[in-house]
Copies of this chain bind each other. A is one copy, B any other.
Amino acid sequence: MKGNKKEKILEAAAIHFARRGYANASLEEIAADAGVTKPAIYYHFKDKAALYESVLCSRLERLADAVGQAVEAHEAVEKRVKAYIESFGAFLAAHRCFAAMLSHEFADNGRNLSDDATRQLSRTLGLVTRLIDEGVKRGVFEIENPMVVQMMIVSTLINHQTTRTLRKRVATQAAKELGGVALRPEPDMNDLSKILAKKILKLIRKERP
């Protein structure tokens, strides 16, 4: 009898934390989905917070690694920014629960982020700021406030993923209201990150007349 139950718990926990956020996810439901009882969770994890930490931190770490590697594969700052955005998008597309967990954490002002989680998150967020600074220093980028660009990249990517079904509901509502406005097709995550990368670069590229 191997410890595959622990993996099952982690998988179920990711789904529930993504759907309801930390506080509203129920350990009983997580246990049920994992095919165990609640105390089995306490056998593997100290408490609810430790389970959450385990689920979230592993992903934050992998994200920071993935984005870091993607960026390092290029030399030119423009390519690096493009790689950042696209690899961020690819990661979110591949780990669907993760964007929702981050979204809850953002809404909660990081209430449940441990120091370790904060550190991993800052690895990812700090990188784009450094990239932009680098570009500005080299005279390739021109920008008023790098913070704004960071926000545009990160929140667009994350919200696109998490608000998918809500947007559909709102769009349906709007179509009904205005009568016969066609629902338009939505770009998937990889399309989005490509479009976004192009647009962001257009925004920050220094124009040389």
* A21, chain B: closest CB distance, angstroms: 7
The yes or no answer to A75 lying at the interface (CB within 8 A) is no
Within 8 A of B (CB), among A151-174: 151-152, 154-156, 158-160, 162-163, 165-167, 169-171, 173-174
| Contact residues of A between 126 and 156, Cβ < 8 Å to B | 126, 129, 144-148, 151-152, 154-156
A103 within 8 A of B: yes
A162→B109 contact, CB < 8 A: yes
A21 touches B165 (CB 8 A): no
Cβ A110 vs Cβ B156 within 8 A = no
Q: Tell me if B156 and A160 are in contact (CB < 8 A).
A: no
Residues of B within 8 A of A148 (CB): 156, 160, 187, 192, 195-196, 199
Answer whether residue A177 sits at the interface, using C-beta atoms and an 8 A cutoff: yes
CA distance A178 to B130 in the complex (A): 11
CA distance A175 to B24 in the complex (A): 33
Cβ–Cβ < 8 Å partners of A126 in chain B: 170-171, 174, 177-178
Residue A106 contacts which of B122, B166, B174 (CB distance < 8 angstroms)? B166
Residues of chain B with a CB closer than 8 A to A108's CB:
20-21, 104
- Please give me the residue from chain B that is nearest to A121 by CB atom: B170
Is A23 interfacial (CB-CB < 8 Å)? Answer: yes
Residues from chain B with Cβ under 8 Å of A23 in the complex: 20, 23-24
Contact mask for chain A residues 197-209; partner B; CB cutoff 8 A; 1 contact, 0 none: 0010011000000
Cβ-defined partner of A119 (8 Å) among B21, B106, B177 = B177
Chain B nearest CB from A102 CB (Å) reads 9
Given known contacts A110-B169, A110-B170, A151-B163, what 13 new A-B pairs fall within 8 Å (CB)?
A: A20-B108, A23-B23, A24-B24, A106-B163, A106-B166, A109-B163, A118-B170, A123-B177, A126-B178, A145-B187, A147-B186, A155-B155, A159-B159
10 chain-A/chain-B pairs, Cβ below 8 angstroms: A106-B162, A106-B163, A109-B163, A119-B177, A121-B170, A123-B174, A123-B177, A146-B184, A147-B167, A148-B156
